[in-house]
Amino acid sequence: DTAVSQTPKYLVTQMGNDKSIKCEQNLGHDTMYWYKQDSKKFLKIMFSYNNKELIINETVPNRFSPKSPDKAHLNLHINSLELGDSAVYFCASSGGRISSYEQYFGPGTRLTVT
């Protein structure tokens, strides 16, 4: 059974479109995260939810909107996609804020904006 899963794995779309990425974890964790990894492999946190509550909201354009329907799911919706949004987006989870040092990552969603 996959611990942290994301769909889709690949996403190719045109500028200006709106797209969503879904994430689910079956580890029973309380905290989930979204990261963006650019072409230079720099991994940057975007958002974090703890028990459905937003606890980390980094400097991210408001075209990006996370949503956590329950503590096992965290989705990311992106409006008006731009070329610079092309990256790999990783979802991750941890047991809680205190154990944020050990995170379990999903396989990633490679987003290409043309």
Partner 1 sequence: GQSLEQPSEVTAVEGAIVQINCTYQTSGFYGLSWYQQHDGGAPTFLSYNALDGLEETGRFSSFLSRSDSYGYLLLQELQMKDSASYFCAGSDSWGKLQFGAGTQVVVTP
SS percent in the chain: helix, strand, coil, step 5: 5, 55, 40
Q: Which of 34, 106, 111, 113 binds partner 1 (CB under 8 A)?
A: 106
- Binding residues with partner 1: total (CB under 8 A): 26
Write the single-letter amino acid at 96. G
Q: Which of 15, 16, 54, 97 binds partner 1 (CB under 8 A)?
A: 97
Q: Does 109 bind partner 1 (CB under 8 A)?
A: no
- Residue 40 CB contacts under 8 Å (≥ 6 apart), including other chains: none
Q: Which of 65, 80, 96, 114 binds partner 1 (CB under 8 A)?
A: 96
Q: Which tokens is 10 given?
A: 């690949």
* Beta-bridge mates of residue 95: none
Residue window 54-83: x/- pattern of binding to partner 1, with contact defined by CB under 8 A: -xx---------------------------
Task: Residue 1: count other Cβ atoms within 10 Å of its Cβ.
Answer: 5
Q: Does 10 bind partner 1 (CB under 8 A)?
A: no
Q: Does 45 bind partner 1 (CB under 8 A)?
A: yes
